[in-house]
Amino acid sequence: MSRLGRVVLVGAGPGDPDLITLRGAKMLAKADVIFYDELATNELLDHAKDRAVLINVGKRGHDEPTRTQDEINSLLLEHARQGRTVVRLKGGDPLVFGRGGEEMSLCAAAGIPFEIVPGVTSAVAALAYAGIPVTDRRHSASFAVVTGHKDPSRVSEQTRWRALGQSVDTLVILMGMRNLPRLVGELLAGGKSPETPAAAVMNGTLPEQRTCVSTLGELAAVAEREGISAPAVVVVGDVVGLRDGLSWWERQPLFGRNVLVTRASQQSAELAAALRSVGAAPVLEPMIEFSEIEDPVGQAKIASAIAMLDQTQSIVFTSSNAVRFFARALESIRGEGGVSASGLAGIHTFCVGERTAQVALAAGFPVHVVATGRSDAEALLGQLLQSPPAGGERVLIPGSQIARTLIADGLRAAGAQVDCVTFYENRRPDIDVAGLRGRLMRGELHALTFTSPSTVDHFVECLDDESREAAGQCMIAAIGRTTARQLESVGFRPDVVPSRPDVSVMVEELAAAVKGD
């Protein structure tokens, strides 16, 4: 008999991908199959392992799903019975108007093991991001969360709107925008004062968040006038009055600004998260991608470099990608025999910056020297030449086919025998050129970020005269001096070059520059 798998119901949170729980992220990383609803952002799916099967079942609010509930139920059981770990990813908290209980009841009846990982519900989170607490001892000691999904004239006997308005201090309504005028009418008919503070928060926790504040009597008209629509959370109660002092998200320095992220898709998560933390909306348009060497000649050169490690005194890593691809090659060729990915015994290891050093240490490599100051190739070369290599000392520098030769040239001039070996390819991916030009010319991109000279080159290749002029109106950030010089060489002056090449520092300085602009 085949081993049963299991189903894990995971709450995706209210929209901001950083609000998923640690347990939820771990389960996504372990899943063989992920069934997901229409999420506010698909960045959560980046937690999935490469071989995971991702299935969009398309359920969101009032919209018709791409699959019926019966189809979803059947697929969950089918994959679990085949021994797979299945994650059912649902927005917000899956047990708050999410039918998660129904799906897990099905698993229980079928004898399928299951687990429920709660999520952060938008009923609380969207309001928190708008500066509205659901309770506050000065104003509210109770709250209720109800769905406004159905026509209140038909469900009023089940959801006693008129009584509910008088029963709790704070009323939170999910999925209520379509029926908002009728819902307000029911509350007023139940005796709720039309002067009660009320608000609607659209796209809560996201950079696109919009909030309208009104009285209950005017809420439907104000929301329509200000273009507030689903998905939105409605709140009624005196706690709305705290928003003026507690609104924090919409005051972030980059709130609502679209920032282009040109970094490779495998490495964009850290930069995107840093941008979101200051309110920006990351626009992911990778300008580079990395791949292993496939041609036999290149593979032979890699194998030769690995074979010569016993005769190599030093290795220089000029990027985190160099570390990753070197580690893969090392493990593939030598495995657990001899020098393995767990260490480079007897070889001095040099890294161009803190991030590269962190990746090297995570791969099990010793790190002897890290470039200080600006943490770039020039800085590392300067440190290496403070104690010049002995004549004939063999140095390996793994890199891409377009890697700079500054460190290699400097070490050779000092008497070292340097092997620059291509361990991976740096390519231009398929880019939506028309879409990029359109966003630039419509003024939809407020800032552009570049993390390597290659991202600059590939970006410029996409531009025509009009979009190039529009790009020049954006604020531009370069990760370091090398990238900044490349921008200047193609006619763009970077507004931000961080004190050290770190994406978090770059975003901090970009936010400061925008704030002071």
The answer to whether the beta carbons of residues 47 and 28 sit under 8 Å apart is yes
Q: How far apart are CA 328 and CA 331, in angstroms?
A: 5
Contacts of 348 (CB under 8 A, 6+ apart): 313, 314, 315, 368, 369
Domain that holds residue 436: 258-288+432-516
pLDDT of residue 171: 97
The angle subtended at Cα 100 by Cα 98 and Cα 105, nearest 5°, is 145
> What global pTM score does this model have?
0.82
Q: In this structure, how many other beta carbons lie within 10 angstroms of the beta carbon of residue 316?
A: 25
Contacts of 377 (CB under 8 A, 6+ apart): 318, 352, 371, 404, 406, 407, 482
pLDDT of residue 336: 46
Same domain, 22 and 76: yes
Same domain, 147 and 166: yes
Same domain, 373 and 278: no
Q: How far apart are CA 66 and CA 16, in angstroms?
A: 23
The answer to whether the beta carbons of residues 87 and 31 sit under 8 Å apart is yes
Same domain, 95 and 212: no
User: In this structure, is residue 174 part of a structural domain?
Assistant: yes
Same domain, 154 and 235: yes
Q: How far apart are CA 362 and CA 317, in angstroms?
A: 14
For the chain, the domain total comes to: 4
Same domain, 317 and 220: no
Same domain, 464 and 438: yes
Q: What ranges make up the beta strands (E) of 77-132?
A: 85-90, 114-117
- The β-bridge relationship of strands 369-370 and 53-56 is unpaired
CATH number at residue 273: 3.40.50.10090
User: In this structure, is residue 215 part of a structural domain?
Assistant: yes
HSE on the CB side for 19, CA within 13 Å? 26
Which residue, of 404, 427, 450, is where some domain finishes?
A: 427
What are φ and ψ of residue 286, in 5° steps? -60, 130
Q: What is the DSSP letter of 289?
A: E
Q: How far apart are CA 274 and CA 137, in angstroms?
A: 34
The answer to whether the beta carbons of residues 103 and 76 sit under 8 Å apart is yes
Which residue, of 192, 224, 250, is where some domain finishes?
A: 250
Same domain, 112 and 128: no
- The β-bridge relationship of strands 85-90 and 114-117 is unpaired
What DSSP element (H or E) covers 197? Answer: strand 197-202
Same domain, 415 and 297: yes
User: In this structure, is residue 366 part of a structural domain?
Assistant: yes
Same domain, 115 and 136: no
pLDDT in tens, the chain (517 residues): 467 899 999 999 999 999 999 999 999 999 999 999 987 678 899 899 989 999 998 755 555 556 888 999 999 999 999 999 999 999 999 999 988 999 999 999 999 999 999 999 999 999 999 999 999 999 999 999 999 876 555 544 567 888 888 999 999 999 999 999 999 999 999 999 999 999 999 999 999 999 999 999 999 999 999 999 999 999 999 999 999 999 999 999 999 999 999 999 888 989 999 999 999 999 999 999 999 999 999 999 999 999 999 899 999 999 999 999 999 999 888 764 444 444 577 898 999 888 899 999 988 898 988 887 666 788 888 888 887 666 678 999 999 998 888 899 999 988 889 999 999 999 999 999 999 999 999 999 999 999 999 999 999 999 999 999 999 999 999 999 889 999 999 999 999 999 888 899 999 999 999 987 6
CATH number at residue 236: 3.30.950.10
Helix (H) and strand (E) counts for the chain?
Answer: 20, 20
Which residue, of 72, 102, 119, is where some domain finishes?
A: 119
pLDDT of residue 64: 58
| Centroid of chain to Cα 68 | 29
Same domain, 328 and 453: no
The answer to whether the beta carbons of residues 210 and 203 sit under 8 Å apart is yes
Which amino acids are annotated catalytic?
A: 37, 59, 175
User: In this structure, is residue 168 part of a structural domain?
Assistant: yes
Q: How far apart are CA 344 and CA 16, in angstroms?
A: 40
The answer to whether the beta carbons of residues 39 and 89 sit under 8 Å apart is yes
User: In this structure, is residue 1 part of a structural domain?
Assistant: no
User: In this structure, is residue 363 part of a structural domain?
Assistant: yes
CATH number at residue 87: 3.40.1010.10
pLDDT of residue 150: 63
Burial 93-114 (b: 16+ CB within 10 A, else e): bbbbbbebeebbebbeeeebeb
Structure tokens at 221: 């008209």
Same domain, 226 and 109: no
pLDDT of residue 241: 97
Q: What does each C-alpha distance from 96 to 135, 155, 342 come to in angstroms?
A: 18, 18, 46
